[in-house]
Amino acid sequence: MKTFAIATLGCKVNQYDGDDVRRQLKGYGEVDFSDRADLYIVNTCGVTAEAEAKARQLLRRAKRNNPGAFLVLTGCFRPEDRDQLRSLGVDLFVPNAQKARRAELLDDEHAREGADETLGSTKRTRVFIKVQDGCDQHCSYCAIPSFRGALSSRPLDEVVEEVRALGAAGVPEVVLTGIHLGKYGVDLDEPADLAGLVAALLQKTTVPRFRLSSLEPQEVTGDLIELMASERRLAPHLHLPLQSGNDRILAQMNRPYDSAGFKATVSRIDQAVPGIGLTTDVMVGFPGETEAEFVETLTLLESGGLSRLHVFKFSARPGTPAATMPGAVSEAVKSARASRARELGQILLRDYCAGFVDRIVETVPEPPRDGAQTGLTGEYLRVKFNQALAPIGRICQVRVEKSEDGFLLGRVQDG
């Protein structure tokens, strides 16, 4: 059997797309990207310069592993980079706009026989379901709208059917993803929104746990908060990207909320769902960001309610408004600010974890890695536990005995 290897960079939507590629590849066996394969696929991300550099590294590695392999680049990449990428050995480009034809395009080069459905995402303890694509927000630093195109939601019934099958197959957790998830349904003929979709999934499927991926802060509706407060199967976790705590920078970023609005949203959710895990993204070193404006961001992050930070340094994406804004912040200052924000993130996470000691959490045990077994709690904390009693892929309860370095440690409860 011929072999393929795939590496996916970037967001959860890309991970879903990566799984989709796996499902489409018939008659190939999957191997690790570090092994020799006949076909390598890099499913890339154009959000940061780091991700682009990583994609180039992966392409070089693939060529080293097997100089005769066929190399495919898919995902978010700039058409104008093709010549350079071709020089790294890329044989076939499949941009997002053509992904519906991905199998057909791959088939042009590789005749396939048989089917290997075992390579689909049901091998996972968490399955990402993409319910929406595209974004119309046009944040000034982001190139995604030009890669992903207009808003496009999957019909509610189609999502329910897919998730119903996953529930019947015993998948313990489904994560609903989208490029602009909070806009789910606005483009559909039948009126639908995210809260309605979640309610339908809870009612019509048996999946034990649902989780929402990133949501724009201004799109957390009262209906959604109510569902989170009342439905045990909906994980008490939301990821709300803040980016900056300074209103001038938020306006420059074209983010449609201000710092007071973000704080109000966090406190509204926190009151309705006490103890919820609220994670966020922070971008440091946006053009023109002063020390005082950065400190305002830190102050907002310290003001409470957040459990974990993902910190990014601004990197100019060609073709975006922010790429040509004046006031570039030096790399040294960006790195120093990122370190300060990450230190604060560690403190927030440590304090949040400490609140779980002596409590019982629910988790889905994952296959052991490096001799340790872990799982994610509903609040998006990683918990390590004694191996023997934990059934992989089934929700179980763990008594937390201590917290350490942003992890929980505990024992699986019998029964």
Q: The tokens of 322 are what?
A: 């922010």
Which stretch, 140-148, 257-265, 315-323, 324-332, contacts ligand SF4 (CB under 6 A)?
A: 140-148
What backbone torsions phi and psi does residue 51 show, to the nearest 5 degrees?
-65, -40
- Nearest approach in angstroms of CB 44 to ligand SF4 is 16
- Nearest approach in angstroms of CB 197 to ligand SF4 is 19
Residues 202-221 touching ligand SF4, rule: CB under 6 A, are 216
For the chain, give the number of residues: 415
Give the integer Cα–Cα distance in Å for 151 and 254: 18
Q: Per-residue x/- mask for ligand SF4, residues 65 to 84, rule CB under 6 A? A: --------------------
Give the integer Cα–Cα distance in Å for 126 and 347: 28
Tell me: does residue 309 bind ligand SF4 (CB under 6 A). no
> Which of residues 124, 180, 209, 308 is near ligand SF4 by CB under 6 A?
180
Q: Is the CB of 136 or the CB of 401 nearer to ligand SF4?
A: 136
- Residues binding ligand SF4: number (CB under 6 A): 10
Q: Give the number of other Cβ atoms within 10 Å of residue 27's Cβ.
A: 14
Q: Is the CB of 70 or the CB of 128 nearer to ligand SF4?
A: 128
> Which of residues 139, 192, 228, 301 is near ligand SF4 by CB under 6 A?
139
Which stretch, 110-118, 130-138, 351-359, 402-410, contacts ligand SF4 (CB under 6 A)?
A: 130-138
> Which of residues 137, 218, 221, 397 is near ligand SF4 by CB under 6 A?
137
Which stretch, 29-37, 132-140, 195-203, 263-271, contacts ligand SF4 (CB under 6 A)?
A: 132-140
Tell me: does residue 225 bind ligand SF4 (CB under 6 A). no
Q: The tokens of 202 are what?
A: 């809870």
Helix and strand numbers (H, E) in the chain are: 12, 17
Asked if residues 180 and 137 have their Cβ atoms less than 8 Å apart, the reply is yes
Instruction: Give the position of tokens 């939301």.
Output: 238
CB-count exposure of residue 193 (10 Å: 0-12, 13-18, 19+): buried
Give the integer Cα–Cα distance in Å for 93 and 98: 9
> Which of residues 21, 37, 127, 142 is near ligand SF4 by CB under 6 A?
142
> Which of residues 75, 145, 365, 410 is near ligand SF4 by CB under 6 A?
145
Tell me: does residue 135 bind ligand SF4 (CB under 6 A). yes
Which DSSP category does 234 fall into?
A: B
Q: Is the CB of 253 or the CB of 364 nearer to ligand SF4?
A: 253
DSSP string over 357-412: TTSEEEEEEPPPBTTBEEEEETTS-EEEE-STT--TTS-EEEEEEEEETTEEEEEE
Give the integer Cα–Cα distance in Å for 48 and 356: 34
Tell me: does residue 179 bind ligand SF4 (CB under 6 A). yes
Tell me: does residue 283 bind ligand SF4 (CB under 6 A). no
Instruction: Give the binding site for ligand SF4 (CB under 6 A).
Output: 135, 137-139, 142, 144-145, 179-180, 216
